[in-house]
Amino acid sequence: MEIFRGRRLWIEKSNVRFPNGVEAEKIIVHPGSAVAILPVTPTGYKLLRQYRYAIGQYIYEVPAGTMEEGEDPQETAHRELIEEAGVSAGTMIPRGFIYTTPGYTDEKIWLFEARDLSPSDEFEKDADEVIEVMDVTRNTTDAMVADGTICDAKTICLIHRCREG
């Protein structure tokens, strides 16, 4: 049974039967698929310092965004990288996907590594996004993950997936 439907997500309540035979009522959030992109520079990465209203604070994260109707993940990655970081990638390397929180949502985030960056203003930032683009060295990024400064799960996963050797 549908509980809510918005522009980008819908929520349903379902009676489910698990593989072990147990039945339960569950709520499932369907936000649609998204992408996350790690822009790689010669010395490190371009990260975003972005205000996230759901948690009421700024966090450090990679550019990311929801796939629009009819877009494939690579198209979305191209668009979101320009919208949020102001750069285009000459090379976009797929790094698989992650499920964010499969206990209650089917959200899938496709991961990409972006290289050969050049400035671009082909797409504008969304008006409701408060973003500062920062160039961060690999060593600083590692320290930010280790000390909890970077606490965004998709960002930590993507940094790990893009490690060389």
Q: Which residues pair with 161 in a beta bridge?
A: none
| Burial letters 128-141, b for 16+ CB under 10 A, else e | eeebeeeebeeebb
- pLDDT, one tens digit per residue, over 108-164 is 999 999 999 999 988 888 888 899 999 999 999 999 999 999 999 999 999 999 986
| Torsion from C-alpha of 43, 47, 49, 52, nearest 10 degrees | -160
Q: What is the model's pLDDT at position 164?
A: 65
- pLDDT, one tens digit per residue, over 50-91 is 999 999 999 999 999 999 989 999 999 999 999 999 999 999
- pLDDT, one tens digit per residue, over 148-158 is 999 999 999 99
